[in-house]
Amino acid sequence: MPTPVDLLIEARWIIPVEPDDTTLEHHAIAVERGKIVAILPLADARARFTAAKTVSLPEHILIPGLINLHCHAAMTLMRGLADDLPLMRWLQEAIWPTEARHASHAFVRDGSLLAGAEMLRGGITTCNDMYFFPEATAEAFDRLGLRAVLGMTVLEFPSQYAADADDYLRKGLATHDAWRDHPLIRFALAPHAPYTVSNTSFERIGALADELELPIHIHLHETAGEIADSLRDFGQRPITRMESLGILGPNLIGVHAVHLTPEDMERLALHQCAIAHCPTSNMKLASGAAPSTRLLDHGLAVGLGSDGAASNNRLDLFREMHQASLLAKLSTGDASALPARQALRMATLNGARALGLDKEIGSLLPGKAADICAIRINDPDELPCFDPVSHVVYVLGRHAVSDVWVDGQQRMEHGKLLQITNTELLGIARLWQNRFRQ
């Protein structure tokens, strides 16, 4: 007797990411109650299962849903607001003044809807976010059905959201408690950066992370100036200071990690920290080229992040895979550096490892959640195709994503989001564009 399942997805190719270097042809994924129960050849799948719904994708590649390991979703409203400036001028002259005037619950909810929709359409099924009003991002991502880890942001200085570090933490923890039982929304502690958070706050954050078993999500060693300032103000490099404050550990996700000495890398490796590599943001703000291949050689979980749309200017992990691979080749002078399969692994399984979610997501394996991205390949300018993994990284873009599932639930079908219309999204973008102009 065939076994009943909720969903059978039949595809031309499946790249499960685990085991490594595997591409399956003419296979199907069986899904029951949000979980992958089997991946097997088409004929076997049809004989073994009767599915409530069967989706046939004969021109498609299935990959695990992509994991955006560093984002500021709500900043999508500031896409293209200020370009071609270095980090500090970009923050001080454009971003912080706009946030001071406009940041609010509605701003963050609307920006997060725009961002979440953009990510789902581009095959991203999990977002590790850091921004003010995380409850508004939770609301938006819950509506869209995007899996997320939301940062409880901490800064010493006041914003529209909170008055001081204690107030940020109090508000963040209240949101964490309110959303505690949500199946797709989780939380991290998100001290913004070593230069915006005091030692006292870091000690409290470290203790809370241990007590609540939460990741710590922090910008780290992004620019050369950050390190010079830290040496001047604390007599230590930021990573050394974080180590002495007890912040480095397997639950730490250091974002950027551009400027690193061999000793910095050894410290990160010793404490088994994870890294969110954001190649486009680093290139656009001229922060530098992160030593991604050396970090990977140290065994660190190096995932990929888009950063916010204000500094990228898109939330597109296909582009990040492409840029990460090319930047690694350029900066090492080695064409074999960061090959396509490693770029795909960074955008999926490494991101899951960094978030401590690799038992649940990051690869297509029985027992894991059915977070799946289908990419259609049938345009003449994308053919021929000899290796689907190479095509995912070097040829296909997010425009080719056709269908997306999160936790076995379909979020996009034939290129159309199921939870929100383009009309509503266009309305949101126009509304805030007009407000910023006033």
The site for Zn ion (CB under 5 A) is made up of: 307
Is residue 397 helix, strand or coil? coil
CA 49 to CA 389: how far, in whole Å?
28
DSSP for 155-221, please give it: -SS--SS-SSHHHHHHHHHHHHHHTTT-SSEEEEEEE--GGGS-HHHHHHHHHHHHHHT--EEEEES
Is residue 408 helix, strand or coil? coil
| Cβ proximity to Zn ion, 264 vs 307, nearer residue | 307
User: How far apart are CB 56 and Zn ion at their closest, in Å?
Assistant: 40
List of residues 6+ apart from 422 with CB closer than 8 A: none
| Cβ proximity to Zn ion, 112 vs 410, nearer residue | 112
Is residue 229 helix, strand or coil? helix
| Cβ proximity to Zn ion, 307 vs 403, nearer residue | 307
| Cβ proximity to Zn ion, 30 vs 108, nearer residue | 108
Phi/psi at 59 (5° precision) = -115, 30
| Cβ proximity to Zn ion, 16 vs 134, nearer residue | 134
CB 152 within 8 A of CB 134: yes
User: How far apart are CB 336 and Zn ion at their closest, in Å?
Assistant: 30
User: How far apart are CB 278 and Zn ion at their closest, in Å?
Assistant: 7
| Cβ proximity to Zn ion, 49 vs 161, nearer residue | 161
User: How far apart are CB 108 and Zn ion at their closest, in Å?
Assistant: 15
| Cβ proximity to Zn ion, 6 vs 307, nearer residue | 307
| Cβ proximity to Zn ion, 196 vs 240, nearer residue | 196
CB 340 within 8 A of CB 393: yes
User: How far apart are CB 327 and Zn ion at their closest, in Å?
Assistant: 17
| Cβ proximity to Zn ion, 116 vs 408, nearer residue | 116
H/E segment holding residue 56? strand 49-64
User: How far apart are CB 376 and Zn ion at their closest, in Å?
Assistant: 31
CB 190 within 8 A of CB 152: yes
- Position with the least CB separation from Zn ion: 307
CB 187 within 8 A of CB 149: yes
List of residues 6+ apart from 350 with CB closer than 8 A: 274, 301, 302, 303, 304, 362
User: How far apart are CB 113 and Zn ion at their closest, in Å?
Assistant: 20
CA 327 to CA 333: how far, in whole Å?
10
User: How far apart are CB 15 and Zn ion at their closest, in Å?
Assistant: 29
List of residues 6+ apart from 196 with CB closer than 8 A: 155, 156, 157
User: How far apart are CB 230 and Zn ion at their closest, in Å?
Assistant: 18
